[in-house]
Chains A and B, each alone.
Chain A
Amino acid sequence: MAGVELQGDSLRALELERSVVDFIEEEARILDDHQFEVWEELWEPDGVYWLPQDIKHDDPEKKVSLVYDDRAAITRRVDRLSGRLAFALQPAAEVSRMTGNVRIAGFADDLVVAQSRFMMVVYRREHPVVYGGRVEHHLRERPGQGYGMVFKRVDLVGAGASFENFTVVF
């Protein structure tokens, strides 16, 4: 590649992709490290965090979702995860995840739509669990500070199954 200089649209596309990958990897690190209050700051005021139960149904008012948090519910989730009051989270789970296969799927208004995949191992009370799935982030640029999340949809592999307690944020 020596001698090839990226410029113009190609350079901007590469920079955009890099910044989105950085964001997704940073979010993963924050969640693995249980920094839930830092994670909350990544959310925009109109943020929605959604885990559908059935990939075929797109209306969270008509079909149950594994998680459907508006911004206020995200705060309550973070409170529960951060405090010492949630019995199901004592002891807390250990978790490590890989993110990848990131692609910029498009743009909507002021948002960047990014799709990615993840694999994670969760361990709690002598019990390891593996989760994987696809994620769609709708990101709003925060000038000079990366992105804020407006929408995060996680389609878990096997979302329709019966699960044991989720003790993590996906």
Chain B
Amino acid sequence: MITEFETAQPSIPYAELVLPDRVNSRIYTDPAIFEDEMEKIWEKDWLYVGHDSEVANRGDYVARRMGRQPVVLARGMDGVVRVLMNRCPHRGNTVCLEDSGNVDHFRCAYHGWMFNTDGSPKGVPYSAGYGEGFDKMDFAMTVVPRMEVHRGFVFASLSPTGQDLKAKLGRTYDYLDRFADMSPEGEIDLSAGALKTKVHGNWKMVYENVADGYHPPFLHRSVFAASSRDGLVIGDAYGDNSLIVTRDLDNGHIMLDFTETNRITGGAVFDVGGPVAPEAVEAYRAAVRARMGEEAGEQLLADGLSNVGICPNLGMLYQDVRVIEPVSVNETVIYNFPALLKGAPRDINRSRMYQEVRAYGPGGSVGPDDHEIYERNQIGFQAKLNNWVVLRRGLDRQYRDDDGTLVGNASDEVTMRGFWRHYLSVMSGS
């Protein structure tokens, strides 16, 4: 039923706000646009929810949000991982009392309704009060309509219809393989938990920044200065002679591609989070080759990791798995999980852990400068005169690669344009 309120809403002129080389600030500040995004993106698209290593044992759960909606990622006693709405079907209370845990069953604190960790009903107190026709089996926790898993990454959609996950992931499907294959067992481990940062900025800036190769030498100069003192030369890494490229991966997915520079510098960097014994690196590389085969293993190790954004809420930056949770038009929570490698020598995972902790979260050396930018941007967006955000960098030098992706220099805004093209098509329904 269409209410009077809904018909009175003026439609949002997305095609006037999102142009091929710029977007209007209003796209980041208008609460009506945020509500529209909740409906058209966050309640329809595939979202990354969590990783199966976070719920390794039967009865394990983690409470999450899909957009603003509370869900729980839980492993049932049958060993199967599910995404359930974190809501009691009786009166609507959340059924998980903690952010994570291991339980035999969920029990709603309000009236004691109980559910198995697969969401099925377990018990309703004083059920005779519901009369003769009552069947508790009609009152299960709601399972989200669609869920698919790739390499342990659990994606779900609140919409019963739409493309399958493989089609949605598109060009990023193989990158999830690459990411997981870095583990000697082919599995990553996200059970270390996440750094959590609250920023007063719109979620789309957080996503765009995953593959912004223009800002690092400027915004993150404190890190570059320290690295130069430590003998690492990265000051010109993003300049015009850089081998790093930006890639528009379609479907809103984006990449800051370090593959070519990784091949020169020797692939994955392990020593940023503290020294790693050369024997540990050798043992690790040998283990990867043993699983993947000599040639494929060597190729993988040489290519290393890059920065990839899987639209709308997942970023993968070297060892970092970044989840974006929109709270309101000007508030976002950022989760930074270190991806540890199952079966890797302790030194390797220690380095990945400390690299993560020292770079990201509220107390890191990299993340806080980004967070500051989101907040200052959000303030700057309030300026209404000449309120355009310019995204034309590299427009005249981008080219189509052999694999069909649109490519730009390290510092070019190819990735932002790719994201916004996808955004416009989703939001305007065209």
**A residues whose Cβ falls under 8 Å from a Cβ of B:** 51, 53-54, 60-70, 72-73, 76-77, 79-80, 83, 85-88, 160-167
Contact = CB atoms under 8 A, between A and B. Distances in A.
10 contacts: A54-B193, A64-B192, A64-B337, A67-B357, A67-B363, A73-B274, A83-B222, A88-B368, A166-B362, A166-B363
A152 to B, nearest CB: 14
A73 B350 CA distance: 14
A80 B194 CA distance: 23
A68 B219 CA distance: 23
Contacts of A54: 193
Nearest to B354: A68
B150 interface: no
A165 B371 contact: yes
Nearest to A85: B222
Residue among A60, A69, A76 with most chain B CB within 10 A: A76
Contact of B199 (A67, A68, A76, A164): A164
A61 B363 contact: no
Contacts of B99: 160
B349 interface: yes
A80 B222 contact: yes
Contact of A87 (B337, B361, B373): B373
Given A64-B195, A69-B358, A85-B222, A165 B365 contact: no
A54 to B, nearest CB: 7
Residue among A66, A77, A88, A167 with most chain B CB within 10 A: A88
Given A64-B357, A85-B225, 4 more contacts: A64-B337, A67-B363, A161-B196, A163-B198
Contacts of B225: 79, 83, 85
A161 to B, nearest CB: 7
A163 B274 contact: no
B346 A162 contact: no
The 8 closest A-B pairs by CB, nearest first: A162-B196, A85-B222, A88-B368, A88-B372, A163-B362, A166-B363, A165-B368, A86-B222
Contacts of B368: 86, 88, 165-167
Given A61-B350, A77-B365, A80-B226, A164 B192 contact: no
B197 interface: yes
Given A87-B219, A163-B197, A61 B369 contact: no
Contacts of B193: 53-54, 63-64
Given A64-B193, A163-B198, A76 B362 contact: no
A104 B389 CA distance: 57
A142 B200 CA distance: 45
Contacts of A87: 219, 222, 369, 372-373
A88 B349 CA distance: 28
A77 to B, nearest CB: 7
B363 A66 contact: yes
B297 interface: no
B400 interface: no
A88 B363 CA distance: 11
Nearest to A160: B99
Nearest to B194: A64
Interface in B356-392: 356-358, 361-363, 365, 368-369, 371-373
Interface string B143-161: 0000000000000000000
B353 interface: yes
Interface in B20-55: none
Interface in B317-354: 333, 336-338, 346, 349-350, 353-354
A60 B361 CA distance: 15
B197 A164 contact: yes
A85 B373 CA distance: 14
Contacts of B194: 64
B362 A164 contact: yes
A64 B338 contact: yes
B221 interface: yes
A30 B346 CA distance: 37
Interface string B176-196: 000000000000000011111
A61 B222 CA distance: 26
Contacts of A72: 274
